[in-house]
Amino acid sequence: MIQTAQGEVVITNDGATILKHMSVMHPAARMLVDLSAAQDIEAGDGTTSVVVLAGSLLGAAEKLLGKGIHPTIIAESFTRAAAKVVEYLEEMSTPVDLSDRDNLLRAATTSLSSKIVSQYSSILSPIAVDSVLRLVTPSSTNVDLRDIRLVKKVGGTIDDTELMDGVLLNQNVITSAGGPTRIEKAKIGIIQFQLSPPKPDMDNQIVVNDYRQMDKILKEERLYILNLCKAIKKSGCNVLLIQKSILRDATNELSLAYLQKLKILAVKDVERDEIEFLSRALGCKPISDVEQMTSDKLGEADLVEETSKNGAKFVKISGIKNPSGKSVSVLCTGNNELVLAESERSLHDALCVVRCLVKKRFLIAGGGAPEIHVSRLLSQYAQTLKGMEAYCFAAYAEALEVIPTTLAENAGLNPIKMVTELRNRHAHGERSAGINVRKGVISNILEENVLQPLLVSTSAIELATETVGLLLRIDDYHPCR
C-alpha cells in the first residue's frame, strides 16, 4: 500500500508502479527505477524480476571488485555472458502459433498468478488474449495496445469485467434538454470548438444603455448558436463528440435545446488525449472550426447508445464502418477505485504478455526453471574459459539463481533446499523442473501450465546487464550545488 504526498492511496504489487511512486534521490537508485520502467515498455511484465536480477549482478560485481578485477573487464564479461544466456534461452524455448489460443491463455494466466487479482485470472486471461487476437493478423509482428481501450467503472465486481466490440466512452450523453440517447445509422463528428457564446477579451467592456441593446445582444447570441447547430446538421452529423475546454463551457442550455430539436446526440468533455484514439478508431477527423464541418470528416457506425451496467452509465459505439481502424474495448468493473486501478494494471500486464508473443513467438517455462538451466550451462561454459573472464562468467551464472531463490522465499519455502534440489534435477536432465508454488515442491513446470514469453526473460537479462555495466563504468559520484 502506497500513500502519495497528495494523500492518494495505491494498492499494488506491480514492480514498476511501486518504484515509480518511490521518492528516490540517489542517481544510482534512479537508474534502477528507470530500468524497471524500460522493462515495462519493452515487455510489460518482469518489472520486479529485472530489478532483483540487477541487484544480484551488482552484488556479484562487488565480490569480483574485491578480488581486484577491473570494473571494465567485469562489465565486458557480463555483456558477453548475457549474450550467451540469451542464446541458451532461445535454445530451450518452444515456438508458439497465434492460432494456439490455449498456450496464449497459459502465458497470460502465469502473468496474472502473482497479482492481487490472481483469483480472477480465469476471467481476465481470456479477455487479454481475445483483445489482442482481434487486432492481429498471422503476419503481424507487433500490436498497438493503444487500440485496446480500457474503461473503468465503479460498480459490481471484477467478475463483471467484459470485452466489448466497438468503442466505449467514459462520458455520458447530455440529456438535460431531453436529447436522444440512442441513434441508429450514426454519423459521428468530433468537434474541438464549443457550442456556447464566445467570451469577449478581458480588456474589453460592453456598455448597455437600454433594453433594446440587451435584446439585440441576446438575439445575436441565439443566432450565433443556431448557425453553429445548423452547420452541424447540414453536414449530416447526428452524433456529436465535443472536446473538453478550460476556456468556455462546451455547451449551454440554448445549444442543447437546438441539438434536441435537430435530433443530435451530444457527448461533451471528451479528453484531449482521447481525440487521437477516437479519430483512428471511428475513422473521423477532429474539426476545429465549424466552417470545416463536412460529411467526409465524419465517421459511421450502426449504433450509438447510452447503456448502463451495475449502475454505471457509459456510451457504446458498435458496428463501426472504418476499414482502416481496428479497436476493441474492455469494460473494467470493481467495487472501489483501488481494486479497479489494480485490476487495470494487471490486465495491462496480461495484454503485454500476449503482445510479447506476437513480437517474438516463443514460450519458455516459468517457476525459475530457465534461470537454473542457463546458470548450469553458463557455469560449465565458464570452466572452458581462462583468466579473469572465467571468474566473471561463473559469478554471472551464480547471480542468475536469485530468481528461483526469491521465488521460493516468497512462497514460504526453504530457498536453500529448493534451489539445491532444483540444481540436482536439472543436472539429471530435467530442464523443465521448476518451483511449484501451489504445491510447495519441485515439479515439471510445463505440465503445470506455467509458461512465459521468451521476450520477457531475454529483455530482463539484457536490460539488467546493460544497467549494471553502466554503473560499473562510473568512477565516482559528485553531487553539485
DSSP run (H or E) holding 134? none
Catalytic pick from 12, 14, 17, 109?
14
Return the number of other C-beta atoms located less than 10 Å from residue 254's C-beta.
Answer: 19
Contacts of 53 (CB under 8 A, 6+ apart): 399, 400, 402, 403, 460, 461, 464
Catalytic pick from 47, 109, 251, 333?
47
- DSSP readout, 197-262? PPPPPTT------SHHHHHHHHHHHHHHHHHHHHHHHHTT--EEEEE--SSS-SB-HHHHHHHHHT
Catalytic pick from 12, 40, 45, 48?
48
- DSSP readout, 360-404? S-EEEE-TTHHHHHHHHHHHHHHTT--THHHHHHHHHHHHTTHHH
Output phi, psi for 188, to 5 deg.
-105, 130
Output phi, psi for 296, to 5 deg.
-70, -10
Please say if 102 is a catalytic residue.
no
Please say if 48 is a catalytic residue.
yes
Using alpha carbons, select from 433, 428, 432, 48 the residue that is nearest to residue 419: 433
Output phi, psi for 152, to 5 deg.
-100, 130
Name 72's bridge partners.
none
Please say if 476 is a catalytic residue.
no
Contacts of 367 (CB under 8 A, 6+ apart): 404, 407, 434, 435, 436, 437, 445, 448, 450
Asked if residue 399 lies in contact with residue 372, where contact means CB atoms within 8 angstroms, the answer is no
Q: How far apart are CA 22 and CA 195, in angstroms?
A: 43
Asked if residue 325 lies in contact with residue 317, where contact means CB atoms within 8 angstroms, the answer is no
Q: How far apart are CA 142 and CA 356, in angstroms?
A: 8
Question: Taking the chain, what is the end-to-end CA distance rounded to the nearest angstrom?
Answer: 34
Using alpha carbons, select from 319, 177, 188 the residue that is nearest to residue 241: 188
Residue whose grid cell is 485490476: 343
Asked if residue 380 lies in contact with residue 160, where contact means CB atoms within 8 angstroms, the answer is no
Contacts of 146 (CB under 8 A, 6+ apart): 277
Please say if 14 is a catalytic residue.
yes
- Map residue 53 onto helix, strand or coil: helix
- How many helices (H) and strands (E) the chain has is answered by 15, 17
Catalytic pick from 110, 147, 349, 405?
349
- Catalytic residue numbers, as ranges: 14, 47-48, 349
